[in-house]
Amino acid sequence: MLLAHDPTITVPAWPIRGRLLCGLKGLAAARFGKRQDVTLATTALEPVLPTARGPLSMAVINLLTERAPRYRLDRIEASIEDSAPYGIDVQLSLYVCYELHCRGFSGVDPGWEWNPGLLHLRSRLEDAFLTAVRRDVGLLGGTAEEEMRRLSASPDAESAPPQYLRRAGTWQQMREYFVHRSLYHLKEGDPHAWAIPRLTGQTKAWFAAAEFDEIRADDGENVHQRLFTDLMVAAGLDPTYLAYLDMVPAETLAVVNLMSMFSLHRQHRGAAVGHFAANEITRSPSAQGLVDALNRMQAPNECRAFYRRNAEVDGSHGRMVRARVVGDLLGREPELESDVVFGMRAFGVVEGRLASHLTRCWSAGLDSLRHPVN
């Protein structure tokens, strides 16, 4: 078994992606198990545009290399019907559109963020994605409380890769897992935060409290994104924001796209809360499985510390979200219950697709990324 501290593994000197605000001191000299002086500059980047993966993403990315039109409301036409909604072309196109609301891209005109033509194209991509998710969720039944009890008793798909890694995973597979999750953890909490203005009362207060704790808003040195940056460096991976966007499959992108879609639309606020609840309820047991796996692999302390904190804190988050966020929302707007349940099950659909991809590849001895991680 290859252990995390294996001296035969060397850390690559990564190309710098995006616009770096200051140097990544000590990055190329990182070694397993040794904490490096990685500044917050590692997260202060505008990423570069990814490589197109089909006609839709080609159309979107080509547009973004141009100056955004200021006074034109023309629709941007592109054929979506022939593209698989879960496929890489649709998912990458959506991811790029949503990223305009986050950090944007290096050299891209910020005016594209609210361009009506691009928003129209994004809405068509969202419709295709949402239709596929609704189809896979199937008929809705039961209450939100019943769904949360089920998630608490059996985390299902979210726990499958951590449990595989705990039982039989290799250090290289764990590093692949870090790469997949980097697209979420390096912006952790950001997509869900868009839902806050759509909520009121205690629902809003407790949702915001959970987000506050998620990003450690009182301590910039311990922001989850920063802690995951430390994890990536300790594992010999590039911690640059979206450094691996070109390497991940559609299943990885869909996980982040779903929470962005729900949280950006007021009509999906119930689904956003359901998704948030499912995420919080299932993360603690998943994190504990990863802690066990990392202990077995003798992984660097930074890797263990990140998931150890998740295992400890997210358990209380799950209980709080279940009792206060969901309960208060449905007390105020009981008509949203089916939307909340849908959000929880939609979370299971996209996480299940990613889990199946990972465990299928690993069981067959294959890489789960487009290219092997150095």
Mean pLDDT across 254-269: 97
Q: What is the DSSP string of 125-163?
A: HHHHHHHHHHHHH-S--S-HHHHHHHHHH--GGGGHHHH
Check residue 223 and give its pLDDT. Answer: 74
Task: Examine residue 41 and state whether it is found in any structural domain, yes or no.
Answer: no
Instruction: Answer with the one of 85, 120, 136 that is the final residue of a domain.
Output: 136
**192 and 341 belong to one structural domain:** yes
**79 and 178 belong to one structural domain:** no
Contact 206, 318 (CB under 8 A): no
Q: What is the pTM of this model?
A: 0.86
Mean pLDDT across 76-102: 92
How many structural domains is the chain composed of?
Answer: 2
Task: Examine residue 34 and state whether it is found in any structural domain, yes or no.
Answer: no
Compute the distance between CA of residue 73 and CA of residue 115 in angstroms, rounded to an integer.
8
**130 and 148 belong to one structural domain:** no
Instruction: Answer with the one of 112, 136, 160 that is the final residue of a domain.
Output: 136
pLDDT tens across 52-82, in order? 999 999 999 999 999 988 766 667 777 888 7
Check residue 316 and give its pLDDT. Answer: 62
**195 and 231 belong to one structural domain:** yes
- Closest residue by Cα to residue 135 from 341, 342, 274: 342
Sequence-ordered list of residues with C-beta below 8 angstroms from that of 197, at least 6 positions apart, any chain: none
Domain that holds residue 99: 55-136
- pLDDT band for 297, please (50, 70, 90 cuts): very high
Check residue 17 and give its pLDDT. Answer: 43
- Closest residue by Cα to residue 224 from 237, 215, 213: 215
Mean pLDDT across 182-205: 90
**66 and 158 belong to one structural domain:** no
Averaged confidence pLDDT in the chain: 85
pLDDT tens across 132-177, in order? 999 999 999 899 999 999 998 875 555 699 999 999 999 999 999 9
Burial 102-137 (b: 16+ CB within 10 A, else e): bbbbeebbeebbebebbeebbebbbebbbebbeeeb
Query: Residue 212 carries which side chain, given as an amino acid letter?
Result: F
- pLDDT band for 315, please (50, 70, 90 cuts): low
- Closest residue by Cα to residue 132 from 234, 245, 254: 254
| CATH code for the domain in which residue 219 is found | 1.20.910.10
24, with CB counted inside 10 A (0-12, 13-18, 19+), is buried
Task: Examine residue 33 and state whether it is found in any structural domain, yes or no.
Answer: no
What residue has token string 């067959």?
Answer: 364
Please state which of the ranges 138-142, 176-180, 336-340 shows the lowest mean pLDDT: 138-142
- pLDDT band for 311, please (50, 70, 90 cuts): confident
Task: Examine residue 7 and state whether it is found in any structural domain, yes or no.
Answer: no
Contact 84, 116 (CB under 8 A): no
Check residue 189 and give its pLDDT. Answer: 78
- pLDDT band for 6, please (50, 70, 90 cuts): very low
**241 and 296 belong to one structural domain:** yes
DSSP E strand stretches across the chain: none
- pLDDT band for 313, please (50, 70, 90 cuts): low
List, as own/partner pairs, every contact residues 85-88 make where C-beta atoms lie below 8 angstroms and the sequence separation is at least 24, other chains included: 85/128, 85/129, 85/131, 85/132, 86/129, 86/132, 86/250, 86/251, 86/254, 86/353, 87/54, 87/250, 88/53, 88/54, 88/57, 88/249, 88/250, 88/253
Contact 232, 241 (CB under 8 A): no
